[in-house]
Chains A and B, each alone.
Chain A
Amino acid sequence: MAQVRVTVDGVEYADDVEPRMLLVYYLRERLGKTGTVVGCDTSNCGACTVHLNGRSVKSCSVLAVQADGGEVLTIEGLARDGELHPVQKAFNECHALQCGYCTPGMIMAAVDLLGDNPDPDEQEVREGIEGNLCRCTGYQNIVRAVQSAAKAMQPGAERPAEAPAPVAGGN
């Protein structure tokens, strides 16, 4: 067993885990953070995407022990004080999800993408999220949602310009 100390969605945890335990199973099975899901076993689908220390990672390809001392943000901690993140809001408004299974990972990947590139064109969005697979939407409305969120997050737009800090207090 190895010890891991990690802050997840603003809450600190300390746990003994098997060294081989993947971060995604630590989140789901130990912390009950079932908003983050597993879609494949080859790190292709991105359904398990979370933020580790402010950057998106596929939590199926990170060991829980690698997150030791780090800060993890999952889909469950993205909304602040009951207010949805602009990317969450845009996914809803643009009908960017159907079954919703890829959605948590897709949203977390999109938030990270917009951190790097606050005003991506269509091709940049398509390439930016190509590590996240969706079988329902054909991606068109996902692209639209990411671009719509980018607009809403521009300085001077009605919505807050910055993504919430990674160590959010949850809700």
Chain B
Amino acid sequence: MTTTAEPTARELGRARIRKEDARLITGRTRWTDNITLNGMLHIAMVRSPVAHARITGINVDAAKQLTGVVAVYSGTDLDAEQSAIPCAWPINAEATPPRHVSIAVDTVRFAGEIVAVVVARDAATAKDATELVEVDYDDLPPVLDMEEALGDATVIHPDFGSNKWVTFPFDSVAAGATTGPTADEAIAAAEADPDSIVVKRRWRQQRLIPAFMEPRSVVVDPTGEQLTMWSSTQVPHVLRTMLGVSLGLPEHKLRVIAPDVGGGFGGKLQVTPEEILSTLVARRMAKPVKWTETRSESMLSGHHGRDQIQDVTVAAKRDGTVTALKIELTADMGAYFGLFTPAVPVFGAFIGPAIYKFPSYAFVCTDVFTNKTPTDAYRGAGRPEATFAVERIMEELATELGRDPLELREQNWIKNTEFPFTNAGGLTYDSGNYEAATEKATALFDYAGLRREQEERRRSNDPVQLGIGVSVFTEMCGLAPSRLLGALGAGAGGWEHAAIRMLPTGKVEVVTGSSAHGQGHETAWSQIVADRLGVPFEDVEVLHGDTQVSPKGMDTYGSRSLPVGGTAVVKCADRVIEKATKVAAHLLEAAEGDIEFQAGRFSVKGTDKGVSIQEVVFATFLSHNFPEGIEPSLDSEYTFDPENFSFPHGTHLAAMEVDTETGRVSIRKYVCVDDVGSVVNPLIVEGQVHGGLAQGIAQALFEEANYDEQGTLVNGTFVDYTLPSAADLPSFTTDRTETPATSNPLGVKGVGEAGTIASTPAIVNGVLDAIRHLGVKQVEMPCTAQRVWRAIQDAQGGAK
């Protein structure tokens, strides 16, 4: 047997550089688009250029005649087989979602919807042939504005009868989360009370595009016993089951592989029309097929995120004590439902009260169809919207009351001594320490010093004004306790699976149902297992993303991998130790109760007798001298279902400079102190925070998917959908406090979305804080120079 190295010092909390980098920095990568199979055909999609129309004719003759084209299909050709794109969480069990077709049959409902599929021997020919497909459209009025859509002048899904899907209400009294008056009653009482104040605002969560760097790609191989799909997806397991359910394919005859996947951010948490159509075409052709999107296709047809109108009301006593919060949302679903479309805004319902002790709370969300690209999960999914609502309204309340925004927050937040605490949304926060994070953040930021500088600049009428933006956030992640998902009407559980295989030479294979696409699971899971089993970090291999290798999983989204999938790995390792203890006792001729395990070694209490875990593994492999009645294997599995969400929190402070003459906004300083509980790998945690911040800041300052009056996406390329570059962002000062979660043995909380959730309101609060004294009350996101300049001009009654 072989032992390569002694187990190193404690693995958990160690800034290990990543294992997975080796292939990524040398180009030895396995992106889906790299795959080439014998006889493989290439697919290109013909997409509707119009937002809403009847299809009156499709002529594919010219396309079919192009040399190299093998087939061209219209919706009519494929309709009998295409079934519908599944929605796993329709929120309302009584209503049936409108059918979401992969390829339009008689009506197109958003620009970008597929109307024909071209199959050719090479990708360039397939693309050329799409230009030769002639489609006749009879235009229908495009429904683009959410509020107008509610008037039902034009109904997008006539079968359904209305553009309004459902209204999802939450009331803290009805839910039993608070006693006393409802939010509506408390707001009405406050309006009539001179010692109270009511602040009501309306904001827009603009439409965003996830813009993962690797365009989506699908390869389907129908040859062989199983149909194999490679897809650039976050969710190979969900995809396999859904393909089975949707297309009626036997699940055991499907294998889904997510090879190296280049980012997702929710954008690859989907079962796509292209995956369905690639499967149908491969089956018809009996040959492998590949579809890879262009960036423009990706921006146009991959699902979008956010897009809500938020009406937010807070009531408080004049001394600053909050008495009610009401969040009313109108949410744009786009033309159809994807996997989680109607559920996304509803995620925000429960976390709306955030860090505050609201004695009453109400949330209502109205879901609306429009003739735009469907929306669905995008980094944070529901929680960025809710956090923006509450952190912006608390800022407005502080302004109205003339209070320091941090002080007003502290007056109302849940104190460290009050955990566990059940919020007005019915969630029980297991732990938190907002005081500690805020104290650290204000010190790093020099809050008092920057406030003084702000005063000086105002006094001197400096053309560049300084604003300080505050966001003290918490969020719910680590999706999720299965029974809770069930109660909310989800079509799946929230568990995660792990398996550990102890190889004869002492090496370890860890199989995880989480499906990493940049998060660093191969490194972090190795650390967990090395720590738990006392084996060298280098001896652990983490396998994921292939349903044949990892048959069971719920995949990666909602900052769930570590709190749920990581916990499954821990519990699984404990099973290995439990089994190995029996074998060690036999080998050491001692009673099982006298065996203790530490740092990879089983020893007999009070003696120097012991065996290494590798020796136990090898003895198990041989099984020559083995205890009777015991299975000769240490391999283990565990499926972990969390008892609660995890609740990361933190304090984010942004010093924003606004040039009042040009409207140009820049980030002078950004400090955040996040509490993500115990940390497995601080390097990875910090990286997740950086990336999260960049995306939250991008919403505040740079990005918006814009449609014209005809429903055409006008900035669907990287030329004009302005993803921030390195030159657009500053370096961030990040730090941590560590308040361990009590809901899992690692004490960890999710970290993937925290930065995005927290940063957007911090930036916008900072921009407004810089120019509010000029009379500016609001700047819509993204706060571009033009918008900021216009807001200042309007407030000053200047140039129009």
Give residues in A with beta carbon < 8 Å to B: 18, 20, 25, 28, 33-42, 44-45, 47, 74-76, 78-79, 84, 88, 91-93, 95, 97-104, 107, 122, 125-127, 129-143
Smallest Cβ-Cβ distance to A21: which chain B residue = B124
The answer to the question of B239 belonging to the interface, with a C-beta cut-off of 8 Å to chain A, is no
Contact of A34 among B34, B212, B263, B296 (CB under 8 A): B34
List 28 A–B pairs whose Cβ atoms lie within 8 Å, in order of A's numbering: A20-B124, A34-B29, A35-B26, A37-B33, A38-B215, A41-B295, A41-B296, A42-B296, A79-B26, A84-B25, A84-B26, A92-B17, A92-B25, A95-B17, A95-B684, A97-B21, A98-B519, A99-B214, A99-B263, A100-B21, A100-B518, A130-B726, A133-B723, A135-B213, A137-B687, A138-B729, A140-B729, A141-B686
Q: How many A-B pairs with Cβ below 8 Å?
A: 174
- Given A42-B718, A125-B726, CB of A98 within 8 Å of CB of B263: yes
> How many Å from the CB of A129 to the closest CB on chain B?
5
- What 1/0 flags go to B240-273 for Cβ under 8 Å of A? 0000000000000000000011110100000000
- Are B717 and A42 neighbours in the complex by a CB distance under 8 Å? yes
Tell me which of B686, B719, B726 contacts A143 (CB under 8 A).
B726
Option from A20, A45, A93, A138 in Cβ contact (under 8 Å) with B213: A45
Does B73 belong to the interface (CB within 8 Å)? no
CB distance from B32 to the nearest CB of A (A): 11
The closest CB in chain A to the CB of B267 belongs to A135
Q: Taking A76-B27, A91-B21 as contacts, is the C-beta distance between A39 and B215 under 8 angstroms?
A: yes
- State how many angstroms separate the Cβ of A113 from the closest Cβ of chain B: 11
- Considering only residues 4-56 of chain B, those with a C-beta below 8 Å from chain A are 17-18, 20-29, 31, 33-34
Flag if A138 contacts B693 (CB, 8 Å): yes
Choose from B25, B213, B294, B520 the contact partner of A133 (Cβ within 8 Å): B213
Quick check: is B732 within 8 A (CB to CB) of the other chain?
Answer: yes
Contact residue among B33, B212, B260, B296 (Cβ-Cβ distance under 8 Å from A100): B260
Q: Is B683 an interface residue (CB 8 A)?
A: yes
Residue of B295, B684, B729 most packed against chain A (CB within 10 A): B295
Contacts of A33 in B (CB 8 A): 27
Interface string of B683-713 (1 = CB under 8 A from A): 1101110111111000000000000000000
B725 in contact with A133 (CB, 8 Å): yes
B731 within 8 A of A: yes
Closest to B722 in A: A44
- Residues from chain A with a CB closer than 8 A to the CB of B28 are 35, 76
Is the beta-carbon distance between B718 and A99 smaller than 8 angstroms?
no
Minimum CB–CB distance for A122 against chain B, Å: 7
How far, in whole Å, are A47 and B723 apart by their CA atoms in the complex? 14
Name the B residues within 8 Å of A42 (CB-CB).
Answer: 295-296, 717-719
**With contact pairs A35-B27, A36-B27, A101-B262 given, residues A95 and B726 touching in the complex (Cβ less than 8 Å):** no
Contact partners of A143 in chain B: CB under 8 A: 726, 731
Contact A98 B732 (CB under 8 A): no
B612 to chain A: closest CB distance in Å? 31
- Residues of chain B lying within 8 A (CB to CB) of residue A28: 34
User: Besides A41-B295, A139-B725, 14 other CB < 8 A contacts?
Assistant: A25-B124, A28-B34, A74-B27, A76-B28, A91-B21, A99-B213, A99-B263, A101-B263, A103-B25, A130-B727, A132-B725, A139-B690, A139-B694, A143-B726
Do B26 and A76 touch across chains, with their CB atoms under 8 A apart? Answer: yes
Chain A residues whose CB sits within 8 angstroms of the CB of B29 once the complex forms: 34-35, 37, 100
B46 → A minimal CB distance (Å):
17
Question: Could you say which of B261, B690, B695 contacts A141, with CB atoms under 8 Å apart?
Answer: B690
Q: Which residues of chain A are near B263, meaning CB under 8 Å? A: 98-99, 101, 135-136
Partner of A44, one of B518, B520, B691, B719: B719
A37 CB to closest chain B CB (Å) equals 6
Residue of A nearest to B16 (CB): A95
Whether A100 lies near B690 (C-beta < 8 A) is no
**Contact pick for A41, options B31, B294, B694, CB 8 Å:** B294
Q: Evaluate contact between A98 and B691: CB separation under 8 angstroms.
A: yes
Contact of B727 among A38, A127, A134 (CB under 8 A): A127
Chain A residue contacts of B17, Cβ below 8 A: 92-93, 95
Q: Return B242 CB to nearest CB of chain A, in Å.
A: 23
Chain A CB within 8 A of B497 CB: no
| Centre residue among A39, A93, A103, A136 by max chain B CB count within 10 A | A136
Q: For the complex, what is the distance from the CA of A130 to the CA of B718, rounded to whole Å? A: 13
A residues near B34, Cβ cutoff 8 Å: 28, 34
The complex places the Cα of A91 from the Cα of B519 at a distance, in Å, of 16
State whether A75 touches B295 (Cβ < 8 A): no
B770 at interface by CB-CB < 8 Å: no
- B22 — which chain A residues lie within 8 A by C-beta? 92
Quick one: CB contact mask for B562-601 with A, threshold 8 Å, 1 for yes?
0000000000000000000000000000000000000000
Instruction: Tell me the bound Cα distance from A44 to B715 in angstroms.
Output: 14
Given A95-B18, A129-B726, A45–B731 Cβ distance below 8 Å? no
Q: Is B517 engaged at the interface, CB distance under 8 Å to the other chain?
A: yes
The reply to whether B518 and A136 contact each other, CB–CB distance below 8 Å, is yes
Q: Does B470 contact A (CB under 8 A)?
A: no
Q: Which of B702-756 contact A (CB under 8 A)?
A: 717-719, 723, 725-729, 731-732
In-complex Cβ contact of B26 among A39, A44, A75, A134 (8 A): A75
Q: Which 6 pairs across A and B sit closest by C-beta, in order of nearness?
A: A35-B27, A101-B262, A100-B24, A99-B518, A138-B694, A138-B690
Of B215, B260, B690, B725, the contact of A130 (CB 8 Å cutoff): B725
A122 to B262, CA, bound (A): 26
A133 to B295, CA, bound (A): 13
Chain A CB within 8 A of B211 CB? yes
Encoded as 1 (CB less than 8 Å from any A CB) or 0, chain B from 659 to 689 comes to: 0000000000000000000000001101110
> CB-CB < 8 A to A122: which residues of B?
731
Chain B 123-136 per-residue mask, 1 if CB under 8 angstroms from chain A, else 0: 01000000000000
Please, which residues of chain A bring their CB within 8 A of the CB of B25?
Answer: 75, 84, 88, 91-92, 97, 100, 103-104, 107
In whole Å, how far is A16's beta carbon from the nearest beta carbon of chain B? Answer: 15
- Interfacial chain B residues near A37, Cβ < 8 Å: 29, 31, 33, 214, 262
Cβ distance B292 to chain A, nearest Cβ, rounded Å:
8
Q: How far is the CA of A143 from the CA of B262 in the complex (A)?
A: 20
Taken together as a complex, chains A and B put the C-alpha atoms of A59 and B639 apart, in Å, by 46
- Asked whether, in the complex, the Cβ of A45 is within 8 Å of the Cβ of B691, the reply is no
Bound complex: CA of A132 vs CA of B718, how far in Å? Answer: 11
Residues of chain B within 8 A (CB-CB) of A134 are 213, 726
Bound form: Cα–Cα A143–B519 in Å: 20
CB pair A101–B214 under 8 Å, yes or no, is: yes
A92 to B26, CA, bound (A): 11
Q: A79, A95, A98, A134 — which one has the most chain B CB atoms within 10 A of its CB?
A: A98
Whether A92 lies near B18 (C-beta < 8 A) is yes
Contact residues in A for B26 (Cβ distance below 8 Å): 35, 75-76, 78-79, 84, 88
B59 → chain A closest CB, angstroms: 26
- Residues of B contacting A136 in the complex (Cβ-Cβ under 8 angstroms): 213, 263, 518, 687, 691
A102–B213 Cα distance when bound, in Å, is 7
State A132–B124 Cα separation when bound (angstroms).
25
Set of chain B residues within 8 Å of A36, measured between Cβ atoms: 27
Nearest A residue to B723, CB-CB: A133
For B18, the chain A residues whose CB sits under 8 A away are 92, 95
Distance (whole angstroms) from the CB of B484 to the closest CB of chain A: 30
A21 to chain B, nearest CB (A): 8
Instruction: Establish whether residues B719 and A75, one from each chain, have CB atoms under 8 Å apart when the complex forms.
Output: no
Contact of A39 among B214, B517, B520, B726 (CB under 8 A): B214
Chain B residues within 8 Å of A140, by CB: 690, 729, 731-732
**Complex Cα–Cα for A93 and B263 (A):** 20
Q: How far, in whole Å, are A126 and B22 apart by their CA atoms in the complex?
A: 24
A47, A74, A79, A138: which contacts B691 (Cβ < 8 A)? A138
